[in-house]
Amino acid sequence: MKKQVFNPYLPLTEYVPDGEPHVFNNRVYVYGSHDAAGSDRFCVNDYTVWSAPVDDLTDWKCHGTVYKKEQDPRSKSGKLVDLYAPDCVCGIDGRYYLYYSAMGPNTKNFGPISIAVADQPEGPFKYYGDVRNSDGRVVLKYLNNDPAVINDHGRIWLYYGWGLGRDFRNRLFRPILNKVLSRISGRSVTEINLTEPSILSCAVVEIGKDMMTVLTEPKAVLDSKSSAPLHTDFYNHAFYEAPSIRKFSNLYYLVYSCGANNALAYATSQYPDRGFQYRGVIISNSDLEYHGNTEPKAPAGTIHGGIEEINGRFYVFYHRLTNNTEFSRQACAEPILIQSDGKIDQVEMSSCGLNGGPLKGEGTYPAAICCNLVTKKRIPIKFSSGQKYPRIDEVNNEVIVRDIVQDTILTYKYFDFQNIGVLTGNVKSTDNGCFEILVDDKMIGKINFDSSSSWQLIGSSLNLPDGIHTFSFRYKGKGKADIKEFTFIRRTI
């Protein structure tokens, strides 16, 4: 079978969220945070970089650890900082500059934006310094979080910020809320009151040729819900966090996490530092709002990513949630279309992602590549080792779908079936049950299985319709089931 790529596009045991894709030297490099399976906080691992040739997005290579937490000067013996969502840019001098925020021990919330530098896009990187004013003071205006950077024909623009999804304008409660915000952000109440239009905004600043010293005063370019115009579509999609900046056809695209922090929206402008107008949502990691959908089709939570042109096509990179926590996020991507007026329509989550088309409807696939995972009750995102909700989970270095309960549906988009007559799977279950098989949401058969504490191979003859289709499992049973993989087998003549 021709080599394929599916979502997530990195190995199932790898957790690289907040992905920023950049094309350098005919390869696409992805810079992101580095989570761990079943973690209790974000970004616990060192930075790594993955890349692929622009003409073969199935061939991803890991460049290893490229920047360690201990390299940040705020790290102390036994108390290392955590390295949050980075971005990378080729500087004026041809070197590669990685902008990031350090959080955790020995740091204050929303402290300096730091920089590491390398001679090659894949690193290794070494600490370079912090973003500073010309007098040497670190830049702290607005809230330093999630840096995004662009080299715009020799001018370097840095974007950052944190907004939350709440409106803090209520005059009655604002004094109390500002005191709470002061404790969270490490900024004084006076500074919070004086920062316009709100300290909870996306800011931009121009950086000098040394890639460290700012040339302009930071200013807001995108409002959070605390300052967005009321009763507008943008108010419900205001800036939350995770800015990402690109320029295509003389139009600047500012991508960001919006609303309740589960969708990537975007705004455009003809200028890098002003005039951004909200244009819409690109993707939600639960498919909310896609074609009017009001129910999450997957665990909904934190999202961060960017868009990039790769070999003549445009893609959005984002992450999904696993292990029933926001702290174990995996890298996904989808093709997008930028229309002649700059508009991008929202796209759905899929299992085929960067594959260039549907997955081949034969052979063996991991169950964990399901793009939708729903049950009668909304699956909460809350870390707890005792969670019993259906989830994508890593167990003994294998990633499976586990604790599947009555009427849970696992959906895969899309497969191209040709002459498929048998379906098998590897399943464990606490009770007898079955998987109903759905194609385009219509039941076409089922596979029964007995209770078993070890993996059992199950199967059934089916007449899967030829062509490109959505494929789903729907569990029926009183117990809980796990599924590791499934196989489509062609009919024999």
**pLDDT per residue as tens, the chain (493 positions):** 569 999 999 999 999 999 999 999 999 999 999 999 999 999 999 999 999 999 999 999 999 999 999 999 999 988 999 999 999 999 999 999 999 999 987 777 899 999 999 999 999 999 999 999 999 999 999 999 999 999 999 999 999 999 988 888 877 778 888 898 899 889 999 999 999 999 999 999 999 999 999 999 999 999 999 899 998 999 999 999 999 999 999 999 999 999 889 999 999 999 999 999 999 999 999 999 999 999 999 988 899 999 999 999 999 999 999 998 999 999 999 999 999 999 999 999 999 999 999 999 999 999 999 999 999 877 766 545 555 689 999 999 999 999 999 999 999 999 999 999 999 999 999 999 999 999 999 999 999 999 999 999 999 999 899 999 999 999 999 999 999 999 999 987 6
- Dig out the tokens for 63 from the structure: 């460049």
Are residues 299 and 422 both part of a single domain? no
Residue 9 lies in a domain: no
pTM: 0.96
Within 10 Å of residue 130's Cβ, how many Cβ atoms? 18
Give the end of a domain, one of 302, 332, 355: 355
Residues with active-site annotation: 18, 241
Are residues 96 and 75 both part of a single domain? yes
Q: How far apart are CA 481 and CA 298, in angstroms?
A: 18
| Nearest partner of 113 among 104, 103, 100, 124, judged by Cα | 100
Give the end of a domain, one of 355, 372, 402: 355
Q: How far apart are CA 374 and CA 444, in angstroms?
A: 20
Q: What domain range includes position 391? A: 359-490
Residue 11 lies in a domain: no
Residue 13 lies in a domain: no
The amino acid at residue 188 is S
CATH number, domain with residue 321: 2.115.10.20
Per the structure, the count of domains in the chain is 2
